[in-house]
Structure 1
Amino acid sequence: MTYTKKSITLKPTEIGDLETLFRFQIDKESAYLAAFMPKDYDSKIAYVAKYTKLLKNPNVNNQTIFIHNTIVGSIAKFMIQDNPEITYWIDKKFWGKGIGTKALKEFLRIETIRPIFARVAFDNFGSQKILEKCGFIKIDIDSGFASARQKVIEEFVYKLEK
């Protein structure tokens, strides 16, 4: 099934969304591809505490992605080393259906700060495609400890200028 832009909506994340979003994060395949996760990514208590705090932070824009009334992911802008950066997570059941691309395009209409950056594991080809379809350009290669894989891996740094 393909989804139209109209069937995908973004809404500010609420505390009630966190239970569903946490379940997406603890999926082993999803966590592996995300790679750069908190050490305690499988702790619901830590997840809810972290995101409850982030939802109150005016420098963070957390949005929940819906198809009709079903939560299918999340997307956010946060600041890292004075640079705005985006992150997103799509429920594995919805991979490969264009939802990530449509959600990111919509988010970039809401979050207009530029330049804006994104980071992605070297082997997360789906996420790389999403960024490139939305106009991001790969500008650098970095490496870091990927807690979901328990080793250092490369990550690609992307930037959107306009």
Structure 2
Amino acid sequence: MNISLHPITEADLDILFEFENDPIANKMADFPARKRKAFNAHWQQKILANEKATAQGIWLDDVLVGNVLSWINTDPAAKSDPQMRLVGYWIGREYWGQGIATKALEMFLKQFISTPVFAYIDKQNQASLALAYSNGFFDVTAQYPKLISKDNLRLFRRGNV
């Protein structure tokens, strides 16, 4: 199994859109699917054009199977919140349970992250929780209660703050 990371390009958005529009994955992640136009605008304007974001495709041999990315939280609605580097990941459901996302996140963190990083994870998403724990994240929800917008959401941190 040859897992590699490569920068996301606009040519990758079609397959990433399909992954993000899987209703089972949406339910597990408690993440609503975007309509195509909103999805493309989000990726083009907030990720690909953002110099503080890093977006990598997860490739299994020659097949794009998901993505892992990091960005600085600069949401204007959260002016009182600390600016935090966040990480997120998404993998096509047909590739779940093979250790691909765990290995890809490990590679991403080693290559691109040198500061503390945070991740929001739905507490019922056991696979994502296991992935985070195996990559050195720990639950800091109790330390940052004002950053939690939903009861089922947990905040994880990797590295010292």
TM-score by structure 2 length?
Answer: 0.86
Mapped to 2, the partners of 1:125 and 1:19 lie a distance apart of 27
Query: What is the SS of the residue equivalent to 2:115?
Result: coil
TM-score by structure 1 length?
Answer: 0.85
Task: Output the amino acid matched with 2:156.
Answer: Y
- Deviations for 1:42-100, whole angstroms, at most 9, x for unmatched residues? 31111011101120110110111001110100000011141000000010001110011
Indicate the structure with greater strand content.
1
* More RCO (CA 8 Å, sep 6+): 1
Residue ranges of structure 2 left out of the alignment (5+ in a row): 74-81
Q: Is the 8 A contact 1:24 1:91 kept in 2?
A: yes
Q: Which residue of 1 aligns with 2:118?
A: 117
- Percent identity reads 27
Task: Output the amino acid matched with 1:115.
Answer: P
Mapped to 1, the partners of 2:141 and 2:31 lie a distance apart of 17
Deviation >2 Å, runs of 4+: 141-144
Q: CA deviation at 1:112?
A: 2.2
Q: Is the 8 A contact 1:84 1:113 kept in 2?
A: no
Task: Output the amino acid matched with 2:84.
Answer: N
Q: Which residue of 2 aligns with 1:43?
A: 35
Q: CA deviation at 1:111?
A: 1.6
Mapped to 2, the partners of 1:51 and 1:18 lie a distance apart of 8
Task: Output the amino acid matched with 2:137.
Answer: F
Indicate the structure with greater helix content.
2
Mapped to 1, the partners of 2:123 and 2:136 lie a distance apart of 18
1:63 aligns with 2:64: no
Task: Output the amino acid matched with 1:159.
Answer: R
